Structure 1
Amino acid sequence: MPEKLPVYRIPDFTAARGMAQGFHVVDLQTHQQKHAFIEAPHKHDFFLLLHVWQGSGTHTIDFTAYEVKPHSLFFLTPGQVHAWNLSPDTQGTLLFFSPAFFSNGQESEALRQFPFFRSWQHAPVLYADAQTLAPAAQTFQSIQNEYKAALPLQADALRAYLHLLLIQISRLYPSQQHRSGTSTWPHQLYQLEKLVEQHYRQHQPIAFYANALHLSPKYLNELCKENLGKTTTDLLQERLILEAKRLLTHSPHLNIAQVALALGFEDNSYFSRFFKKHTGATPEQFRQKG
């Protein structure tokens, strides 16, 4: 992808010990002081949790600005673009971990059981109060204490604390956001999300995704509408628009025709019409505003 947006890895922020484990936890202010480059928009190849207990500002994730305020939690999945503008008194905790660390090297989709990592369904932020967040805040502190200590089986302890933390946070979501354990929708939609990520530039028809999931196009469409309130076509088009916005904003070295080609549009005029239909602005207008 002809994109100049930086993609950071956990080793970019931590020393060899954290590097080997795929895990890092740090105070927000310490992180900002050591890594000033994070103020600019960027991506990660890992999962990120941010717990803010003091301060204010904005946290922009894929072109949506979210308010930063005390007792807020932010969640990022690999590949999302984010940047923040925080008041000087903002304090919090950042936690990074790789999928391999969480699954201990085994193939697993267990992370998608947590609602805050289903980016198609939920906003990447949760607002609460001090009392509600107290159990999770205590686990954050336990994780920091464990991370600073050189003790036997440290990776196993951190992994256990991490799993507990994710469970505690998931319980803060309204009960209606949790589906029955017998439902298969999270797995199927997660598989669809991965397929869309791999193939959205190829403009594959709905039947391509349905066949890959061993579903009929009609049933796949019903599954999306029931659980996401969107059709399968909506999801495919939204993914193209998101990437178009990323390229137009963060790859100024590409002209509009090159952006269109990078997204699988051979006809630049058709790309411009498609973009304006979904955003209300032409690619040129969107780039100028950005």
Structure 2
Amino acid sequence: MPVSSQVPVFKLYGEERAWPTPDLIHCESIAERSRQHGWEIRAHLHSDLVQVLYIQSGHAQVEIDGQVCRLDQAAVQVVPALCVHAFHFSEDIQGHVLTLAQPLVEHLGVALEQPPLSGSARYPAAAHRARLDVLFDTLAHEYGHHEVGRELMLQSLISTLLVWLARQALADQQGEAQLSDRGRKHLRRFQALIEQHYRSHQSLDWYASQMGLSVAHLNSLCRRLAGQSGLQVIHQRLLLEAKRNLVYTSMTIAQVADSLGFSEAAYFSRFFRRGAGISPKDFRSQR
């Protein structure tokens, strides 16, 4: 069953009530909500909301669609709609969470050639702290005070943020363009093949043969562009699906193992523990 039909959908984390204000905007400090939940925001998604987290200081562990990253420096994290995400924050976390309704994002992004909030993205912000601190502090003030021109000011500030995000995305693209286009095409082809065949446990030799590459060349591409060996890329996709099934379905561990092409549940458990550092049973109970 698709993940989106299994994951709880909230307006804001921990709330199932209607949008709390008539605005298409919600702004609060990271601590304001995460403190209520022991500094941990469990895996969930938003069907029609986009979030921008500005982490000023402290530490954050960010998980988006199974990919985990630890942030120890100032950063801006974009969380698009329909994206399964979770966070764990240190108790000294400082920063803001800006939540925007999708229609507002689309309206304000019309003038930009490339919408900056259409996908998950993370941008280092240490070099931009002065500007971003003022921007988010002003956003928080305008959101919390109903002064003349509030709506126009909020939209202007959000437009400024969208432009900043679009520029960061463009800079990233220009940096990526310096890498081999052919190598990236090969990597995308490899990932597409994995998506089709990861349940059949094909060898790296098989994938390389399908792509007309040597195993050494494929491994080199994966290490350079994905930071992992080819076999690790395959195993990470299999592990991600295993985690999704353990958390968001009621299948037994044996059924999960069978659905992922493992001949024995014990083999699956060894594979999972090797990749996740924990048994499938313990992983499920912790989540």
Q: Identify if the C-alpha distance between structure 1 residues 224 and 194 changes in structure 2 by more than 3 Å, giving closer, same or farther.
A: closer
What residue is the counterpart of 1:6 in the other structure?
8
Tell me which structure has the larger Cα radius of gyration.
Answer: 2
What residue is the counterpart of 1:49 in the other structure?
52
- Residue identity in the other structure for 1:66: R
What residue is the counterpart of 1:150 in the other structure?
151
Structure 1 counterpart SS, 2:42: coil
Contact conserved, 2:55 with 2:94, CA < 8 A, in 1?
A: yes
- Residue identity in the other structure for 1:136: L
Structure 1 counterpart SS, 2:165: helix
Give the C-alpha shift of residue 238 in structure 1.
0.5
Whole-angstrom distance in 2 between the partners of 1:76 and 1:182: 26
What residue is the counterpart of 2:225 in the other structure?
227
The two structures have a TM-score, normalised by structure 2, of 0.59
Whole-angstrom distance in 1 between the partners of 2:181 and 2:101: 25
Whole-angstrom distance in 2 between the partners of 1:159 and 1:15: 19
Q: Deviations over 1:46-70 (max 9, x none)?
A: 553322335x45535358573667x
- Residue identity in the other structure for 2:255: Q
Structure 2 counterpart SS, 1:218: coil
Whole-angstrom distance in 2 between the partners of 1:192 and 1:179: 17
Q: Identify if the C-alpha distance between structure 1 residues 279 and 264 changes in structure 2 by more than 3 Å, giving closer, same or farther.
A: same
The two structures have a TM-score, normalised by structure 1, of 0.58
Whole-angstrom distance in 1 between the partners of 2:183 and 2:136: 27
CA-atom RMSD, angstroms?
A: 5.4
Structure 1 counterpart SS, 2:83: coil
- Residue identity in the other structure for 1:96: T
Structure 1 counterpart SS, 2:70: strand
Whole-angstrom distance in 2 between the partners of 1:38 and 1:272: 30
- Residue identity in the other structure for 2:55: V
Give identity over the alignment, percent: 21
What residue is the counterpart of 1:93 in the other structure?
96
Whole-angstrom distance in 1 between the partners of 2:171 and 2:135: 15
Q: Deviations over 1:175-220 (max 9, x none)?
A: 9x9233797579859977995897577559699x99xxxx946399
Q: Identify if the C-alpha distance between structure 1 residues 127 and 86 changes in structure 2 by more than 3 Å, giving closer, same or farther.
A: same
Whole-angstrom distance in 2 between the partners of 1:158 and 1:136: 11
Whole-angstrom distance in 1 between the partners of 2:266 and 2:167: 49
Q: How does 1:272-283 map to 2 (within 5 A)?
A: 272-279=269-276, 282-283=279-280
Give the C-alpha shift of residue 164 in structure 1.
2.1
Whole-angstrom distance in 2 between the partners of 1:226 and 1:112: 27
Give the C-alpha shift of residue 86 in structure 1.
3.7
Give the C-alpha shift of residue 135 in structure 1.
1.9
Matched, 1:218 2:213: yes
Give the C-alpha shift of residue 245 in structure 1.
3.4
Give the C-alpha shift of residue 93 in structure 1.
0.7
